[in-house]
A and B are shown apart, each in its own frame.
Chain A
Amino acid sequence: MTADVAVVGFAQSPVAVRDDATTSGVEMLVPTIAEAFGACGITKSDIGFWCSGSSDYLAGRAFSFVSAVDAIGAVPPTMESHVEMDGAWALYEAWVKVLTGDADIALAYGFGKSSGAELRRVMALQLDPYLVAPLWPDSVSVAALQARLGLEAGRWTEKDMAEVAARSRAAAASNPAAQVSGSVSAADLLARPYVAEPLRAHDCAPVGDGAAVVIMASAARARDLCERPAWITGFAHRIDSGSLGARDLLAAPSAAGAWSAAGGGSGAPVDVAELHAPFTHQEILLREAMELGDDVTVSPSGGALCGNPMFAAGLARIGEAARAVMSGRAGRALGHATSGPALQQNLVCVMSGEDS
């Protein structure tokens, strides 16, 4: 299979609770876009298509993404779109735009001021608006229901979960964008109290604000912008039922399906998998669903457990996977993004240093 489009640039803002950042994301986006442009040696006039991912529920106002357009300098008018989803899905739209020939170079960005309100409570509004959201089940509690199912089914232990957190934090020590990092033992983590039994604080991604930017280019332009482009060999997304009580929360068929559709399990194996797992047990579940072996390096950036800016963290996973390819650290890498409660929706982007 010949790849027609490659990721050529990635940048993200440091993840932190930022009192100085507005819900429009402009303050986080302007330097991040500038960094990505600098690495590719391009300016805004080179971008043929822009697509963003963000949410009005984080912003607390309608059409908040329109304010973010200030950050891209959309005068004269430019071709621009938005998804009310993680920026990874904006990247998918951008990929389609480049594949169809409508644009040679496209930029996807995601941003979220997760700290503007009580995030776990706001996230209840992503649930079924008739039968579930009126009860305000918060995102941490819903994930905890999934974690307990796996614990009691013998799929993982609390120690397994703590080891995911400890490994992620150690890996994040080399990631300047990480919100949480450092050396800690699983035993120390297990001595800490529950926040939503069976989840402890280390099992849950921290609340942080941030933005991520990924630039992609057609085969005709990619090598002009990047010495070693990360060629997209597969890109797919799938969704499972919105009914939490009707689906098997210990399977992630949409993750397995997206991975398979993106070429997973066929061709050369991946060296690196950047998984968007906002809870420790979800990394274990995703590895099982996608049948990733021990030879795959999982989330060398530290992953979402060390920085999970809503609506940017999934895009950042693809960016980190692309960076592993662009830097030569990986021959083939996958970036994964999730959305919805308990891994309801999943996206996989597979990239290779070889264009065929």
Chain B
Amino acid sequence: MTQPATAPLRAPLDIEFDYTRSLGPVLSQFMAALAERRILGARGADGRVHAPPFEYDPVTAEPPGDLLPVGPEGTVLSWSWMPEPLADQPLAVPFAWALIRLDGADTALLHAVDAGSAAAMRTGLRVRPRWAAARTGSIRDIACFEPSDGVADDDTDTGSAEVNPGMTITPVRLHYMHTASPGESFYLRGLAERRLLGQRCDVCGQVYVPPRGTCPADGVPTREEVELSESGTVTTFCIVNVGYPGQKVTPPYVAAQILLDGADIAFGHLVLGCDASEVRMGMRVKAVWADEGVSHFEPNGEPDAPYESYERFM
């Protein structure tokens, strides 16, 4: 389906990050035990055994004493059915989420139960952990729970454990459909035609580029469209000397604030095409185009702009 030329542009935005967390004294023990196929709990001041263990007693706020073994079998206290599992959940086939009270514990652990069908699930069902083959000291060392037939588990551990003590890593992947604002969409469509477009506020007359759709000073929609010059002035800049993964330009290079002629706000871009040491405030530059829009700016050879012409935009 083609979108009308004025519809906001949309595109997938996938974000991925490995949250690396230190565990502290209690959860370090709990996670290390999981890697050894053992589950630990903590006894509270009120005598109740919490599994998973608390870090601080919910009644007295004291840290727990020695952790104690619980389970590994347990009883389902409540459950819900997941007919179409979502990405990264413990099982890719339909399964149950369950609150499971492990034997010897008074509180419940939330985990998945591989029951095959909702008809096989019930409150009171006895379950046992199915251990992950490769364990790292994570709650996912328990791959899931499964109905327990009461027959002793085959205790042969064919898996492996490799724990980074005191740490746990959780990969997080999120998938968005990002929507550009009407103003941003107008700007991006302009770039595709090698035009730099902005918008003027009806109230204060300021020209914003890229257009924001709304005047940040007046809080009103900006409607008048303005085409701007490809030339502008460096208002301020820095020289990037550090490298980072994915960097596209080799340091040292210049990241500058550039005030396009006719605009009332500067925006950030690269200044290339000359030695980084030659870039200065007031330097006159012009856009250099590439397929995806403006690749960078480079000196346009004009005399430097006087400071007074851009001091308001610093």
User: Which A positions have Cβ atoms within 8 angstroms of B?
Assistant: 19-24, 26-27, 30, 33, 44, 57, 60, 69-75, 113, 116-118, 120-122, 125, 129-138, 141-142, 144-149, 152, 194-199, 241, 243-246, 249
A129 contact set on B, CB distance < 8 A? 19, 21, 170
Bound complex: CA A134 to CA B111 (Å):
10
**Interface window among B208-216, B266-274, B275-283, B302-310:** B208-216
B8 touches A19 (CB 8 A): yes
The contact of B118 among A23, A44, A197, A245, by CB within 8 Å, is: A197
Residue of A nearest to B109 (CB): A245
The contact of A19 among B10, B86, B109, by CB within 8 Å, is: B10
A22 touches B179 (CB 8 A): yes
Q: Is B160 close to A, CB under 8 A?
A: no
Residue of A nearest to B206 (CB): A75
CB distance from A22 to the nearest CB of B (A): 5
Residue of A nearest to B55 (CB): A130
B52 contact set on A, CB distance < 8 A? 131, 243, 245
Q: Is B128 close to A, CB under 8 A?
A: no
B77 touches A73 (CB 8 A): no
A-B contacts, 16 of them at CB < 8 A, read A20-B7, A20-B8, A30-B221, A70-B219, A73-B216, A129-B21, A132-B110, A135-B112, A136-B86, A152-B78, A196-B80, A196-B83, A199-B80, A244-B108, A246-B50, A249-B78
Bound complex: CA A316 to CA B90 (Å):
36
A194 contact set on B, CB distance < 8 A? 81, 83
CB distance from A343 to the nearest CB of B (A): 15
B178 touches A245 (CB 8 A): no
Bound complex: CA A44 to CA B204 (Å):
15
Asked, given contacts A130-B23, A152-B123, A244-B99, whether A19 binds B111 with beta carbons under 8 Å apart, the answer is no
Bound complex: CA A22 to CA B176 (Å):
12
B77-114 interface bits toward A, Cβ cutoff 8 Å, 1 = contact, 0 = none: 11111110011111000000111010000011111100
Bound complex: CA A195 to CA B99 (Å):
19
A73 contact set on B, CB distance < 8 A? 215-220
Bound complex: CA A24 to CA B178 (Å):
11
A134 touches B214 (CB 8 A): no
The contact of B214 among A71, A144, A244, by CB within 8 Å, is: A71
Q: Is B33 close to A, CB under 8 A?
A: no
CB distance from B166 to the nearest CB of A (A): 12
For B13, B78, B99, B170, the residue with the greatest tally of chain A CB atoms inside 10 Å of its CB is B78
Q: Is B27 close to A, CB under 8 A?
A: yes
Q: Is B15 close to A, CB under 8 A?
A: yes
Bound complex: CA A155 to CA B54 (Å):
29
The contact of B110 among A60, A198, A245, by CB within 8 Å, is: A245
Bound complex: CA A120 to CA B54 (Å):
26
B176 touches A145 (CB 8 A): no
Bound complex: CA A110 to CA B13 (Å):
23
A152 contact set on B, CB distance < 8 A? 78, 123
A142 contact set on B, CB distance < 8 A? 97, 110
B123 touches A135 (CB 8 A): no
B80 touches A198 (CB 8 A): yes
Asked, given contacts A121-B86, A134-B138, A135-B90, whether A245 binds B107 with beta carbons under 8 Å apart, the answer is yes
B87 contact set on A, CB distance < 8 A? 121, 136
Q: Is B177 close to A, CB under 8 A?
A: yes
B116-151 interface bits toward A, Cβ cutoff 8 Å, 1 = contact, 0 = none: 001000010000000000000011100000000000
B111 contact set on A, CB distance < 8 A? 135
CB distance from A240 to the nearest CB of B (A): 10
B21 contact set on A, CB distance < 8 A? 129-130
B182 contact set on A, CB distance < 8 A? 20, 27
B83 contact set on A, CB distance < 8 A? 194-196
The contact of A72 among B82, B174, B219, by CB within 8 Å, is: B219
CB distance from B116 to the nearest CB of A (A): 14
